[in-house]
Amino acid sequence: MKKKILGVVASTALFLSLATPMTAQAAKGDHGVDWAKYQGANGIFGYPHDKFAIAQVGGYYNGYFADQWTYPTQVQYAIAQGKRAHTYIYARFSNKWEADQMLDHYLPKVQTPKKSIVALDVEDGTPNTEAVLYALDRVEKAGYTAVLYGYKSFLLNHVDLARIARQYPLWLGEYPDYNVTPEPNYNYFPSFDNIGIFQFTSTYIAGGLDGNIDLTGLSDVGYKGGNVEKPVTKPDAVKQGIIADNTPKKNITTGYTVKVNFSAKNWASGETI
């Protein structure tokens, strides 16, 4: 969706779009970002062509929980910007009991639509194949698209990655360096079966931001035809994002604080920004 200005009403914390929304369709090759608390309450997009964001709902560290206070508003902001929103859990667990503890806590907190991605970020600790498959099965049974995130070398050293990839899509990260990288360098592609998303940099923009590319259309899931205005279900954060996305310009009044979108050149009054 292409918009000119995004605003925030202080009393309601809603993000308000000041331009007529246009349908955003998904496609293979879409770029996107992933966020944790370091990207703040609203998250940060890298470029105007970004189409999706995967926000961290929280982390689990072998019994310790670290909820991300930024998660609900990041989901809301992504939807208000016309981007598809998905979820991931930082997942350090070693057995099925810990998997249950983690998912009993975090699955009720998911604010992205049913069928949307809920990825397990398994990049450290002592995971094992049975526990990871068990956790992914639970995510899938809860109505979401289960995805395993991690680095190929770590996962190969700890789990039967081929077995997991036969059942669930992978989201793998591999970076050539820490220079600003707006496009993937496929010379560093972590080749493997069933990779749905490639995280190709942690420096998508200056200052740091994870950059991803959707290789299969995986980021469409949860949104009918990839249309952000048509989520399969509407949790509260998605509802608020859609309301903001469709707020007409006539409802914007003096006193609103506005956040300028990438493509903005003029205010609604015609004045140059």
Contact call for residues 205 and 45 (beta carbons, < 8 A) = no
pTM of the predicted protein model = 0.84
pLDDT of residue 272: 63
Residue 221 buriedness (CB in 10 A; 0-12 / 13-18 / 19+): buried
Q: What is the pLDDT of residue 251?
A: 57
pLDDT, residue 2, reads 28
CA angle 5, 18, 85 (to 5 degrees): 75
Q: What is the pLDDT of residue 18?
A: 35
Domain boundaries, the chain: 1-21+246-273, 26-245
pLDDT at 242: 86
Domain 26-245 top-level CATH class: alpha beta
Model pLDDT, residue 248: 60
Ranges of the chain with pLDDT below 70: 1-27, 247-273
Please answer whether residues 88 and 149 qualify as being in contact, where contact means their C-beta atoms are separated by less than 8 angstroms.
Answer: yes
